[in-house]
Amino acid sequence: MAKLHITTTINGDATEFLCEPEQTLLDVLRDELQLTGSKEGCASGDCGACSVMLDGRLVCACLVLGAEAAGRTVETIEGVARGEELHLVQRKFLEHHALQCGVCTPGFIVAAKALLERDTDPSETEVRYWLAGNLCRCTGYDKIVRAVLDAAAEMRGEEAGA
Amino acid sequence: MDYMRFEAPSSVDAAVALLAEGGGGARVLAGGTDLLVQLRSGMVEPSLVVDIKRLPEVREIAAEDGGFRVGAAVSGAELGEHAELKALWPGVVESAELIGSTQIQGRASMGGNLCNASPAADTVPALIAARATCTVAGPRGRREVAVEDICTGPGRTSLAPGEFVVSFHLPARPAHSGDAYLRFIPRTEMDIAVVGVGVSLTLDLQGACTQAEVSLGAVAPTALRVREAAEALVGTRLDDAAMEALARAAAAACRPIDDKRGTVAFRTRVAGVLAQRAARIAADRARSN
Is A109 at the interface with chain B, CB within 8 A? no
Q: What is the mean pLDDT of residues A11-31?
A: 98
Q: Which residues of A touch B29 (CB under 8 A)?
A: 65, 68
Q: How far is B219 from chain A (nearest CA, A)?
A: 25
**Chain B residues whose beta carbon lies within 8 Å of the beta carbon of residue A1:** 3, 5
**Residue A101 forms contact with B (CB below 8 Å):** no
Q: Does A118 touch chain B (CB under 8 A)?
A: no
Q: How far apart are CA B144 and CA B135, in angstroms?
A: 5
Residue type, A35: L
* Residue range B57-105, pLDDT digits in tens: 999 999 999 999 999 999 999 999 999 999 999 999 999 999 999 999 9
State how far residue B149 is from chain A, nearest Cα, in angstroms.
28
Q: At what angle do helices A105-118 and A142-155 cross, to 10 degrees?
A: 40
Q: Give the predicted TM-score (pTM) of the model.
A: 0.96
Backbone angles phi and psi of B157, in degrees to 5: -130, 170
Q: Identify from A63, A73, A75 which residue to disrupt to test chain B contact, counting B C-beta atoms within 10 A and taking the largest count.
A: A63
- pLDDT interval class at A160 (50, 70, 90): low
Hey, are the CB atoms on A111 and B102 less than 8 Å from each other? yes
B36/A65 touch (CB, cutoff 8 Å), yes or no: yes
Beta strand B5-7 with B48-51 is: parallel
pLDDT for the residue B2:
65
Q: What is the arithmetic mean of pLDDT over A87-92?
A: 98
Nearest residue to A139 (alpha-carbon basis) of A84, A93, A85, A88: A93
Confidence of residue A65 (pLDDT cuts 50, 70, 90): very high
ipTM greater than 0.90: yes
Q: Given pLDDT bands bounded at 50, 70 and 90, which one contains residue B206?
A: very high
Q: How far apart are CA B133 and CA B149, in angstroms?
A: 9
For residue B104, the chain A residues in CB contact (below 8 A) are 45, 60, 63, 133
CA-wise closest residue to A76 among A110, A40, A125 = A110
Total number of residues shown for chain B: 289
Distance from CA of B76 to the nearest CA of A (A): 11
The rounded radius of gyration (Å) of the Cα atoms in chain A is 16
Rounded-to-integer distance, Cα B270 and Cα A112, Å: 36
CA distance A19 to B49: 15
CB-CB: which of A51, A68, A129 is closest to B103?
A51
How far, in Å, are B172, B176, B210 from residue B205 at the CA level?
A: 19, 8, 10
On the question of pLDDT at B190 being above 90, the answer is: no
Residue pair B203/B113 in contact (Cβ under 8 Å)? The answer is no
Residues B4 and B247: their CA atoms lie apart, in Å, by 48
* Residues making up chain A, counted from first to last: 162
What class has domain B56-170? alpha beta
Residue B1 has pLDDT above 70, yes or no: no
Instruction: Tell me whether the CATH fold assigned to A4-79 matches the one assigned to A88-155.
Output: no
Interface test with A, best of B35, B49, B103, B185 (most A CBs within 10 A): B103
| Record: fold of A4-79 | Ubiquitin-like (UB roll) (3.10.20)
Calculate mean pLDDT across residues B230-234.
Answer: 98
Q: For B196-211, give the secondary structure using H, E and C.
A: EEEEEEEECCCCCEEE
**Domain extent listing, chain B:** 5-53, 56-170, 180-287
What does the pLDDT look like over B155-182, one tens digit per residue? 999 999 999 999 999 999 999 999 999 9
Per residue in A96-141, pLDDT tens? 999 999 999 999 999 999 999 999 999 999 999 999 999 999 999 9
**With contact defined as beta carbons under 8 Å apart, do B277 and B264 qualify?**
no
Dist. CA B118–CA B109, nearest whole Å: 14
Check residue B114 and give its pLDDT: 98
Give the chain A residue whose CA is nearest to the CA of B33.
A63
Measured CA to CA, the distance from residue A35 to residue B272 in angstroms comes to 51
Displacement of CA B85 from its chain's centroid (Å): 15
Say what the pLDDT of residue A162 is: 46
Mean pLDDT of B218-245: 98
Beta strands at B26-29 and B48-51: parallel, antiparallel or unpaired: parallel
- B138 has which bridge partners? B141
Q: Which CATH class, in words, describes the domain spanning B5-53?
A: alpha beta
Task: Give the pLDDT of residue A1.
Answer: 63
Domain B180-287 is found in CATH 3.40.50.450: no
CA distance B249 to chain A (A): 35
The closest alpha carbon to B284, from B132, B170, B180, belongs to B180
Q: Residue A2: what pLDDT?
A: 80
The rounded distance, in Å, linking the Cα atoms of A154 and A11 is 25
Sign for the pseudo-dihedral over CA of B168, B278, B274, A128: positive
Q: Residue B262 above 80 pLDDT?
A: yes
Cα(A85)–Cα(A89) distance, integer angstroms: 11
- B151 neighbors B222 (Cβ within 8 angstroms): yes
Using a CB–CB cutoff of 8 Å, tell me whether B49 touches chain A.
Answer: yes
CB of B38 less than 8 A from some CB of A: no
**Comparing C-alpha atoms, which of A161, A100, A83, A107 is closest to residue A115?**
A107
At the topology level of CATH, where does A88-155 sit?
Answer: DNA polymerase; domain 1 (1.10.150)
With the CA atoms of B52, B58, B60 and B66 taken in that order, what torsion angle do they form, in degrees rounded to the nearest 10? -170
- Residue of B29, B37, B107 lying closest to A59 (CB–CB): B107
Nearest-CA residue of chain A relative to B1?
A22
Burial of B248 (0-12, 13-18, 19+ CB in 10 A): middle
Work out the mean pLDDT of chain B and round it to a whole number: 97
What are the percentages of helix, strand and coil residues in chain B, rounded to 5?
40, 25, 35
Domain ranges of chain A: 4-79, 88-155
Residues B145-158 have pLDDT tens digits of: 999 999 999 999 99
Q: Do B36 and A45 touch (CB under 8 A)?
A: yes
Q: Which percentage of chain A shows pLDDT scores above 70?
A: 97
Tens digits of per-residue pLDDT, B99-135?
Answer: 999 999 999 999 999 999 999 999 999 999 999 999 9
B36:A1 CB<8 A: no
Mean pLDDT, residues A14-24: 97
Nearest residue of B to residue A108, measured between CA atoms: B103
Task: Compute the half-sphere exposure of residue B222: CA atoms within 13 Å on the CB side of its CA.
Answer: 19
